[in-house]
Structure 1
Amino acid sequence: MADQPATEKTEQPTPRRLEKAREQGQVPQSQELGAAATLLSLLLGLALLAPGLLHWCKLKVASGLTAGAGTGFSDVREFLHLAHRDLLDLIVVLLPLLALLTAAGLLASVAVGGLLFTPAGLRLRWNAINPAHTIPQLFSKRSAVRLLASVLKLFFVSLIVWLYLSDKLEVLAALRWAWSAEIIAAIGRILFGLGLRVGFAIAVIGLADTLYQKWQHLQELRMTRQEVKQERKDLEGSPEIKARIRRIQVEMSMKRLRQQVPKASVILVNPTHVAVALRYEAKTMEAPILLAKGADLMAERIVKLGRSYGIPVVQRPEVARAIYATVKPGQSIPEALYMAVAEVLAMLYRLRQKKRARN
């Protein structure tokens, strides 16, 4: 591991790298899966719509023959008008099939690369028409894999067609004695069965191609260790900046402590892990107020600063923990802690009175 060059892409792409590639329109795509979905949906649509389409075609043919029989068309414009009308009717009839094909293609694309719409994917890429960029790609590893996949697909599809039609030779030979309608129906069934077999074969190839495209996509986005470190630094900030921010935060905390702790009436501790500085003035306050709190090192600083100003430090572990966990600086302590804090304040008051009496 230590002998690997720093420029070698050995690390898996991070979520941020994948997201940036997605924003640029770089997602895995499988043309084979899309072709299979389109072919199978076409066969499904024809199976569902074929009776209606055939009936519609018979009506239009009969209508055209009737319109042109006897007197014929008066002029070319009348013929073009009828042809235009029938063409529009055909488009309307085929709309469900076109919608099915479009939906199948979109679903196949979403299944591989997910739902994606990004303006970056619509931009014109000059590299795509630059011979200096496209010619080397013709001899790349990706092109070699595509060529191999195309050859294998052609081989398997040709094998399926040959095996299927070989099995139907007797049926095809018997059609020479059949009526035209029977011939059309038989050929339609044969082509439909052939299309299904070819479609499922391409679907299997498409699934394999999908797995390969996803693997290849991750390989192309692999990162060097330096890139991973740089990305982490960009997201989290450099260690120097983070240390400086922590130092500024500590300085600001100490500044607040120097401003608030000297105003405290008492500091409750636990005994060294937690410290809370409280202030209470009977004439102006309804309840004691938390001026500052801290844990571990911050607690030590509060205690040290408080003692330097002569503020009493009292060990009350449970009360100190409760105040530390539930009260924010500047807030009054909860009513449930009134009695416990009042006992501490009363004890301090009695001690001050005794001290004054002795003096």
Structure 2
Amino acid sequence: MAEKPAAEKTEQPTSRKLGKAREKGQVPQSQDMGAAVTLLALFLSLALLAPGLFQWFKGQVETSASGQIGPLANPQIFAAYMNANIIDALLVMLPVLAVISVAGIATSIVIGGLTFSPQAIQLKWDAINPATAIQRAANPRTLVRLLAEIAKLLIVGVIVWFYLRDKLEAMAALRWAWSSQLIGSIASMTFGLGIRVGIAVIILGLADTLYQKWQYIHELKMTRQEVKQERKDSDGSPEVKSRIRRIQIEMSMKRLIQEVPKASVILVNPTHVAVALRYEAATMDAPVLLAKGADHMAQKIIKIARSHGVPIVRRPEVARAIYAAVKPGQRIPESLYVAVAEVLAMVYRLRQGKKAAR
């Protein structure tokens, strides 16, 4: 199989690139899904609040048709009357507006996630540049979007036609209905039509959401070279990493030179692992690990210990257990007290024997 060129964007965007895109406010969004959820929320909220809204509208119509001239007595009374009615209307419509707002915000968060990006609200002159607008209009993507919108209108139109075609006889009979029956029948038909159109738009919105997410990832795809460069920027250049590693080794060596001579005993494995332990019965409750190392560092510990006369004891299992479970400066666990105590007792006897021999 032929290898794809490095300049071709075939790699999935990294988490770092996705994070930068979110910082700029670039997240997948679907206007169709937002409009569909908002439409359904509108119809459902109107259906639930219909009795109260009907009574309010009925009261307003009756008041307006009563012929009262009190509100028209003078401009001040009329202004107060209008302000009261406007505030009343806002309070009546507030639940519907709140449901629509919550539905729109929730849909946006579900699709694109919760994101706050100050960069997204900055003024962009390209957005209001006529030349840029003409280029966007001539873009093939714009044409595809236009055709998709036309297709959606056709689908919605077909749904509306089939629904109203079945209601023609009922609509013709409404001319004999009372006003309350007329309003109820129209509201019922409108609600039924809204639900059907809403479900259709939801399905179209789901398809558009999947497409928008695919397009979002597709546009953020990276070349292999970009992925390598980003990994290099994140991890640091090999030169910097090598220098950091060298500094860490130097610091470890200084710590070994300082701590190993203070040790009471060195436990080895015998060459792959070395741990330096210190124990003073008068001042310590338990032995403390001063230093540890593996392979090359283990050999350094053994070399320093020999040069300072620190006893070196071969205890592979104990050395491995301490190396894996204890950090420098920590006490050894209680499960190893007996094994370490045996070693320390042996070292103590050897030292006492040497002193007696002298």
Q: TM-score, normalised by structure 1?
A: 0.87
In 2, Cα distance between the equivalents of 1:34 and 1:125?
Answer: 24
The letter of the residue matching 1:345 is V
Q: Quote the residue 1:273 is aligned against.
A: 272
Range 326-335 or range 46-55, more displaced: 326-335
2:258 match: secondary structure: helix
- Could you list the per-position Cα deviations for residues 48-98 of structure 1 after superposition, in whole angstroms to 9, with x for gaps in the alignment? 2222122122223333444626x8943455444323322221111111111
**2:68 alignment partner in structure 1:** 68
Indicate the residue corresponding to 1:138 in structure 2: 137
Name the CA distance, whole Å, in 1 between partners of 2:288 and 2:177.
103
* Deviation (angstroms), 1:137: 1.9
- The whole-number CA distance in structure 2 between the counterparts of 1:93 and 1:64 is 18
Taking the aligned partners of 2:264 and 2:61, their CA distance within structure 1 comes to 104
Structure-2 separation of matches of 1:279 and 1:192:
83
Residue identity opposite 2:16 in structure 1: R
Report the AA paired with residue 153 of structure 2.
L
Which residue does the alignment assign to 1:343?
345
One-letter identity of the residue aligned with 2:342: A
Structure 1 range deviating more: 58-67 or 223-232: 58-67
Deviations 1:95-127 (A, max 9, x none): 111111111111121121122222222211222
Matching of residues 38-117 of structure 1 within 5 Å: 38-66=38-66, 68=68, 73-117=72-116
The percent identity for this pair of structures is 59
What is aligned with 1:174? 173
- Equivalent-residue separation in structure 1 for 2:225 and 2:196 (angstroms): 50
1:10 pairs with 2:10? yes
Aligned equivalent of 1:305: 304
The whole-number CA distance in structure 2 between the counterparts of 1:19 and 1:311 is 54
Please tell me whether the aligned partners of residues 319 and 340 of structure 1 are also in contact (alpha carbons under 8 angstroms). no
- Partner SS state of residue 27, structure 2: coil
Check whether the contact 1:279–1:291 (CA below 8 A) recurs between aligned residues: yes
- Going from structure 1 to structure 2, the CA distance change for 1:114 and 1:328 (only over 3 Å counts) comes to closer
Flag the 1:116–1:342 CA change in 2: closer, same or farther, 3 A.
Answer: closer
Which SS does the other structure have where 1:243 is aligned?
helix
> How many residues are treated as equivalent by the alignment?
355
The answer (yes or no) to whether the contact 1:67–1:73 under 8 Å persists in 2 is no
The 3 A distance-change label for structure 1 pair 167 and 288 is: closer
Amino acid at match of 1:134: A
Q: SS of the counterpart of 1:27?
A: coil
Query: CA 1:263–1:39 in structure 2 vs 1: closer, same or farther (change >3 Å)?
Result: closer
Residues 1:141 and 1:13: Cα distance change in structure 2 (over 3 Å): farther
- Summarize the Cα distance change of 1:73–1:330 in structure 2 as closer, same or farther, 3 Å threshold: closer
Please name the residue that 2:119 is paired with: 120
Deviates more, 1:177-186 or 1:295-304: 177-186
Distance 2:74 2:125 in 1: 51
Q: Return 5+ residue gaps in structure 1 as ranges.
A: none
Question: Cα distance 1:14–1:72, how it changes in 2: closer, same or farther (>3 A)?
Answer: closer
- For residues 109 and 280 of structure 2, the distance between their equivalents in structure 1, rounded to whole angstroms, comes to 68
In structure 2, distance between residues paired with 1:324 and 1:124? 59
Per the alignment, residue 128 of structure 2 pairs with 129
Q: Distance in 2 between matches of 1:142 and 1:66?
A: 57
Report the equivalent of 2:22: 22
- Larger deviation: 251-260 or 7-16? 251-260
Change (3 A) 1:262 1:48: closer
What stretches of structure 2 of length at least 5 have no aligned partner?
Answer: none
Within a 5 Å distance, the mapping from 1:190-205 to structure 2 comes to 190-205=189-204
Instruction: Check whether the contact 1:24–1:121 (CA below 8 A) recurs between aligned residues.
Output: yes
Aligned to 1:238: 237
- State the SS of the aligned residue for 1:68: coil
Root mean square deviation of aligned Cα? 2.8
- Of residues 252-261 and 110-119 in structure 1, the stretch that sits farther from structure 2 once superposed is 252-261
Q: Secondary structure at the match of 1:292?
A: strand
